[in-house]
Structure 1
Amino acid sequence: MATMKQVAEKARVSTTTVSHVINNTRVVSEDARERVLSVIQELRYIPSAVARSLKNDRTHTLGMMIPNNSNPYFAEVIQGIEDASFKLGYNIILCNSDDNPKKQAAYIRVLMEKRIDGLILVSSGSDEELSQLLADEGIPKVLVDREVSGVSADFIEADHVQGGYDATSYLISLGHRRIACVAGPDTLLPSGGRVTGYLRALKEAGLEFRNKYLLHSDFTSQGGFNAFQKLLALPERPTAIFVSNDLMAIGGICAANAAGVRIPQQLSVVGYDDIALASFSTPPLTTIAQPKHAIGELTAKTLVDRIQHPDAPLRREMLQSRLVIRQSTAAPEQQA
């Protein structure tokens, strides 16, 4: 690999001049600039990001921590973050915590050591170590979907309460009265918001909330499969189920098929997120579409703004979701 010294020797300039050409830190004669750029291309010289960061205190790298890289929802948010970051001149280092707060804290330390300019965090739940780590570090940060206790940062989220309300209200409008909810972990803000919306819709419609109709799971297809098995085994099983993410809904549809329950004739299902797979489930899934790419873009832009204006007031942005109606929902069989 070529070095800056080799570039300087071949271009007949000093290493300082090469550095100024690369970093645009001082005016260099047009003749010298062209010689340096020509040699850089010829030798395929790649400037050291570490060396440049030591000089200007910027690596133009953002760290991102997500809870589960097997969830397509996060993949689509990441795409929005990467698209916006690339346009703004930043690279992304991605870490996956596997929903483990200890692993999350360890990875954040690694990202700090890599001299990232800013951090995007979708938290895997909070613990004292994480809160302390983030509170102590002066690094610019943006939290997405899930706040961390004791940490002041810009916060980007979607309106989970409204999403849960819209999903449940739609099922009520179809004539359903026995509506269950498969929620995510009860420790996470989005899960709680979606349940709040579900309960509000039931209350406004004058429908009784049944404890047995609310189950918490883990946002995985297997978790949805297991939850549907329990709900379909109830003496008075629901005619509709609102599910807090599409992966659990797709797993649940498999459980219904295995039990001989026809969707949507005998059971209506509404998911949440509108991941790409939702259009291709059998039947295609009615769901609440989150603005995933927009969340990602706004997150990246907010973090770069924070890096450039560290003393600006903190931002809190809430984006709206929307109901997408497909073939997994219908009026209850007896009323169809």
Structure 2
Amino acid sequence: MAKATIKEVAAEAEVSTATVSRVLNESGFVSEEIKERVMEAVAKLNYQPSAIARSLKQDKTYMIGVIVPDISNSYFMGISRGIEDVVGAEGFQLMFCSSDENPEKEERLLNLLQEKRVDAVVLATAGGNDDTVKSLSDSGLPIVLVDRKLDSEEGTKSLDLVAEDNEEGAARLTEKLLAEGHVRIGVVNGPARVSTGRERFEGVRKAMRDRGIADQPIVFNGGFSTEDGIRAVRKFLQADPRPTAIVSLNNQMSLGVLLEIVRSGLKIPEDMAVASFGEVEAGPLLKNPGLHYIDQHPYDMGIKAGEILLKRIRKEEPEAEPAVEIFRNEVNRIG
């Protein structure tokens, strides 16, 4: 059966198409009797207004693009949920994309979202796309950075940002291990092209410098995946001397670290102490884990990002400086 048109609704209700439009868009005066007739016609014909036509008329699609490295990661799921709870109440929907830490794929996704005429973009960048992001921002598309900064400091300062205090958090996390007497430390980090990787590793180095420790940590640079955490532990266990503690700077990699330590027959923290930037859901399942972790709050970050998005889409305070919200999280311990 063909879809009903606005002309058919108007004919059924015995009014003009302009009157139907006013009723559906709640614009202009229409008597209650006419409204009732129009809505009865809409229900009878099962009329569905065209979202595309409405978006062209209003210059809005009520869609917000979200690009993150991995939407299945609980951290980015939490951020996304916070955003959705804020913007969803205003009628906006989210279009989720995973870049898989691939700058080329991220660039394609950015261009695709522009083609889809989204009203704004939330970006946790994989790096390498400063020029594309700047071009989209200069065209008037609101872009809010979450978790990660652009490669250039100048580019980051021109955009809204919601992130964590990565360097300070990693320093305080490492200090917990140093205070327990660990000197030989293995560091599981993500790619250096990503701001979180650079900042968190610098935090580890800062903590060691502050303690006057000259030894350099053993570093494994991965891609923020569980498999990289597993490979890192295998590398550390082959080192001579091997580390007595591991700092994992991402929750997904931390899961791999815990799995491989347990699989190797070692005990945490007796044989190998572990500190994680981000809570690991499986951590409490370990017997007496003694696991230090940064208590992140991705949902709260999403809430803040959503509030900024609505201000930008509504063009509130158009001349205002970009918003910068930095979350400082505490170090906790399981066990």
Same fold by TM-score greater than 0.5: yes
Offset from partner CA, 1:69-123 (integer Å, 9 cap, x none): 3322212211111111112321111122222222212122221121111111111
Contact 2:254/2:280, CA 8 A, preserved across alignment: no
TM-score, normalized by length of structure 2?
0.90
Q: Give how far 1:129 is off.
A: 5.6
Q: CA separation in 1, counterparts of 2:283 and 2:14?
A: 60
| Structure 1 match to 2:205 | 199
The amino acid across from 1:299 in the alignment is A
Instruction: Assess, with a 3 A threshold, how the Cα gap between structure 1 residues 9 and 282 changes in structure 2: closer, same or farther.
Output: farther
Percent identity of the aligned residues? 34
Give, in whole Å, the separation in 2 of the partners of 1:30 and 1:135.
44
Contact 2:184 2:215 in 1 (8 A): no
Is residue 245–residue 272 contact of structure 2 (8 Å, CA) maintained in 1?
Answer: yes
SS at match of 1:218: coil
Find the aligned partners of 1:21 and 1:275 in 2 and give their Cα distance: 51
**d(CA) in 2 for partners of 1:140 and 1:110?**
15
Cα 1:29–1:209, aligned 2, differ >3 Å: closer, same or farther? farther
Q: Which residue of 2 aligns with 1:174?
A: 180
Q: Paired residue for 1:76?
A: 78
Change (3 A) 1:313 1:37: farther
User: 2-side partners of 1:170 and 1:48: how far apart?
Assistant: 58
1:315 corresponding residue in structure 2: 323
Q: Which amino acid aligns with 1:78?
A: S
Structure 1 residues 27 and 283: CA distance shift in structure 2, 3 A: farther
Q: TM-score, normalised by structure 1?
A: 0.89
Q: How far is the alpha carbon of 1:260 from its aligned partner?
A: 2.4
In structure 2, how many angstroms separate the alpha carbons of the residues matched to 1:99 and 1:201? Answer: 28
What does 1:277-296 correspond to in 2, within 5 Å? 277-280=282-285, 285-296=291-302
Once residues 66 and 283 of structure 1 are traced to their aligned partners in structure 2, the CA distance between those partners, rounded to angstroms, is 34
**In structure 1, distance between residues paired with 2:177 and 2:275:** 8
**Any stretches of 5+ residues in structure 1 without a counterpart?**
328-336
1:100 match: 102
Q: 2:164 aligns with which of 153, 158, 163?
A: 158
Tell me the distance in 2 between the aligned counterparts of 1:101 and 1:118. 20
Question: Aligned with 1:63: secondary structure?
Answer: strand
Measured after TM superposition, the shift of residue 184 of structure 1 is 1.2
C-alpha deviations, 1:268-290, integer Å up to 9, x for none?
11112225444446666532121
Counterpart of 1:253 in structure 2 is 258
1:325 alignment partner, SS class: strand
My pick for the range that moved more, 181-190 or 123-132, is 123-132
Tell me how many residue pairs correspond in the alignment. Answer: 326
Correspondence for 1:229 among 227, 234, 238 = 234
**Counterparts of 1:88 and 1:71, CA distance in 2:** 26
